Amino acid sequence: MDFELEPEHIQIRDTVKKFCEKEVIPFAEEWEKEEIFPLETIRNMGKLGFFASPFPEEYGGTELGFLANSIVAEELGRASLGLACCLNMQSGTCPMTILLNGNETQKEKYIPGIISGELLGCFAVTEPNAATDMAGIETKAIRDGDSYIMNGSKLWITHATVFDAGICFAKTDPSQRHKGLSAFIIEKDMPGLSARAEKDKLGVRSSDTGEIVFEDCKVPEENLIGEEGQGFAIAESSLTYGRANIAARSLGIGQAAVDAAIRYANEREQFGKKIGSFQMNKQIIADMVANTEASRLLVYRASWLQDKGLPSANESTIAKFFASEAAVQAVIGAAKIHGAYTYSSEYVVARLYRDVMLMTAGEGTSNIQRIIIANNALDLNK
Ligand SMILES: Cc1cc2nc3c(=O)[nH]c(=O)nc-3n(C[C@H](O)[C@H](O)[C@H](O)COP(=O)(O)OP(=O)(O)OC[C@H]3O[C@@H](n4cnc5c(N)ncnc54)[C@H](O)[C@@H]3O)c2cc1C
């Protein structure tokens, strides 16, 4: 067993850190306040290869692997969770679904553009009446000659109003639940597709989120991924990677909370002493540090397994569950250390507080991760 990062991992961490210090952190508060979607920054991240590490060279990837991808997610999550939301669309579930399940034409057509940041991706599952219950999806895609006619709507979709091409799940057989689901590649210019932004969100306001509506939208048959009825299995295949990715972003925001708490505890004085010298504050900081370190080990283990091509679904689920819950606790800890100044825009902790809850909801809520972990432990998934 070796806990050392490889030199290429250290190099990518340093590159992303420097990028964040110069191009993200100075602007993050303004992006959040003004709901600015930082398109140029995302394009620059693409040019620097930040999205390309898990992908083969033949599709424009750098083949640096999943651990490298998690390190990028961690550092971006630490700098701006709003910006880091784009990662899943540019290097996670969206292009990974095509890599794992698409045909050669689909891979060549979409993956290079998405992982280079030239095209923006999306991954549309959630609907007004179907979120955790994916099999309850009501959007229909009914075959009509050499196309499918799609009707329905998707809610809370990252990149809804800015995406170029992405994945959408719809029922090709509405009489079935899981077995009726299929996966499609959608493009923003398809006739019958429209989008509306979800404005004034609580957090991650620099991330574009919204509704995508399909009204007799014509989707060519060549945009079906795999076969009709395979949608649920296709979603599951890429969610393993999506969960490791969101776990890494959670680790990043947790680390940002630790950094903020330590900085403030070493600066603020009460009773003539630094507040970090008080036993009860030390306990808060110790819990935050220990849980964040444990998150890091879980995230890196899941990513390492993925790099080795070993099964990682359960480990990714454990990492996602633990790291997202630990991040929430770390942000609460940072808020306690900051006291009244949590409410000041002078400190980063207010932004962390608004952003962090998304980590326990996206890619399956904590309840769902618990159910999967328990079912695996109890051998009930067979
Ligand atoms: C900023 C943002 C970006 C998003 N981006 C995307 C995106 O790009 N693509 C996308 O498809 N979705 C996206 N989502 C939606 C997100 O994935 C959903 O919020 C998530 O799937 C949970 O759905 P829900 O919040 O509606 O909760 P619900 O499914 O309504 O569940 C509510 C609560 O009940 C619990 N619950 C539900 N069923 C069970 C059960 N069987 N057992 C135990 N507990 C249960 C849940 O754990 C949760 O705590 C985004 C959301 C936000 C806020």
The tens digit of pLDDT for each residue in 8-41 reads 999 999 999 999 999 999 999 999 999 999 999 9
Q: Which atom of ligand 1 is nearest to the CA of 368?
A: 47
Task: Say whether pLDDT at 128 is over 90.
Answer: yes
- The long-range contacts involving 332-335, CB below 8 angstroms and separated by at least 24 positions, are 333/257, 333/261, 333/284, 333/285, 333/287, 333/288, 334/257, 334/258, 334/260, 334/261, 334/264, 334/288
- pLDDT of res. 381: 78
Task: Say whether pLDDT at 1 is over 90.
Answer: no
Please report which confidence band the pLDDT of residue 382 belongs to, taking 50, 70 and 90 as the band edges: low
Mutate to test the pocket of ligand 1, among 243, 365, 369 (most ligand atoms within 8 A of CB): 365
Instruction: Give CATH 2.40.110.10 domain extents, the chain.
Output: 123-229
- Tell which CATH architecture fits domain 7-115: Orthogonal Bundle (1.10)
- CA 77 to centroid of ligand 1, rounded, Å: 20
Please report which confidence band the pLDDT of residue 215 belongs to, taking 50, 70 and 90 as the band edges: very high
0.85 surpassed by pTM: yes
Buried residues in 356-365 as b, exposed as e (16+ CB within 10 A): bbbbbebbbe
* Residues 119-138, mean pLDDT to the nearest whole number: 97
Instruction: Give CATH 1.10.540.10 domain extents, the chain.
Output: 7-115
Q: Is 63 designated active site? A: no
210 touches 190 (CB < 8 A): no
Q: Which atom of ligand 1 is nearest to the CA of 159?
A: 8
Query: Whole-number mean pLDDT of the chain?
Result: 97
CATH assignment, 232-377:
1.20.140.10
- CA 311 to centroid of ligand 1, rounded, Å: 25
Instruction: Give CATH 1.20.140.10 domain extents, the chain.
Output: 232-377
Please report which confidence band the pLDDT of residue 226 belongs to, taking 50, 70 and 90 as the band edges: very high
- Tell which CATH architecture fits domain 123-229: Beta Barrel (2.40)
